[in-house]
Amino acid sequence: MITFQQLHFEFLALFRYKKSERAWHVPFLASLCVGIPLFTGYYLDKPAYGITACIGGLVFLYLPTGSLARRMITLLACSFGFVFAYAIGVLFSFNPYLSSIVLGLFAAFVHWVSRFFQLKPPGNFFFIMIASIASCMPFALEEIPVKVGLIALGTMLATVIAFVYSLLITKGTAFKSEFVVVVQRNYVTIFEALVIGFFMSFSLLIGLLLKLDNPYWLPISCAAVIQGVTLQQVWRRTFQRILGTFVGLLLTWFLLQLEMNLFWICFSIVVFQFIVETLIVRQYALAIIFITPLTIFLADVGNALHIDANQLIATRFFDIIIGSIIGAVAGWLLHHQYLRNQSERQIRKTRIALYRK
């Protein structure tokens, strides 16, 4: 039986502002990794190229703590993952239904890899996000090398910035010997990968069947919600995402009424990136308010001048609610202890049976 005290605690937890040791220069450099490709594309009158490259710049968010070698190895591995995620998505975008299956398989694989190497937050999220967006792009075989190359250029820029930054902050610091932590024969991880893969595929398929303009919003919202490490956090994130999205869409509507030109839209993206990276580790619901206009402008920077603001608000809120609800169901399955135990037992039995053959 849930008590009033428990409800009161949960309500306060939704809006609690946490302390964080993240310094201001991390959000600043992250926004720089996004802003340089963005304004380069604006200057060259190629905003679509700038958007694609700046998505690759988000790899900076995976920069870990520790020695220079550890930082660079991690970032280079994640950069390869970004390029691979985009390539997989865009290569199979010729058939939307096949693309949803491939997205599910990729999501399962990337979750297993991220858990195997104990990759810290944002974990598998941006890999799934990139693959989801690429899966919904119009298929043009001759443009694939250019698009994949732009993602690679964005990751290269972020890696160079991270290298210079790491040189400065690790100079003269002695580190203990470091080693890669891996998790072997973790059957629960296989169960999680299967569940996440299924729901990523299912959410994109639902978006396609509903004939949404941008069906990738569903798997992205679903992936964001299931990042919670406990069932309690999953439900909390679901509510925070829906509430934050509603307020964020109002902010987006207001900005669209200002009829900003392309330069100010690019400038807004950079500012929002800085605000989001400052808030995301402190207050998730508050960060979502700024993530909403950020992602909308990123997804459609070239057409933002011609968007019907009223239609946009209704469509995006509908998309994100559906994706968040699907994510909440997926999170319930992921953290259901009986299902986790049963799946682990069944996977172990299957593995033993295969070895005996």
User: What confidence category does residue 21 fall into, taking pLDDT thresholds of 50, 70 and 90?
Assistant: low
| pLDDT of res. 152 | 95
Pick 203 or 336 by higher pLDDT: 203
What's the whole-number mean pLDDT along residues 263-277? Answer: 88
| pLDDT of res. 296 | 80
- Per the listing, tokens 């595929």 go with 201
Both tokens assigned to 210: 């509903």
- What tens digit of pLDDT does each residue of 59-68 get? 999 988 878 8
pLDDT of 14 strictly over 60: no
In this prediction the pTM is 0.86
Q: Please report the beta strands in the chain, taking only residues with DSSP state E, as ranges in sequence order.
A: none
Q: How far apart are CA 287 and CA 299, in angstroms?
A: 18
The one-letter amino acid code at 321 reads I
**Quick check: 27 and 277 in contact, CB under 8 A?**
yes
Distances (CA, A) of 105 to 81, 101, 200: 15, 6, 9
What's the whole-number mean pLDDT along residues 265-286? Answer: 85
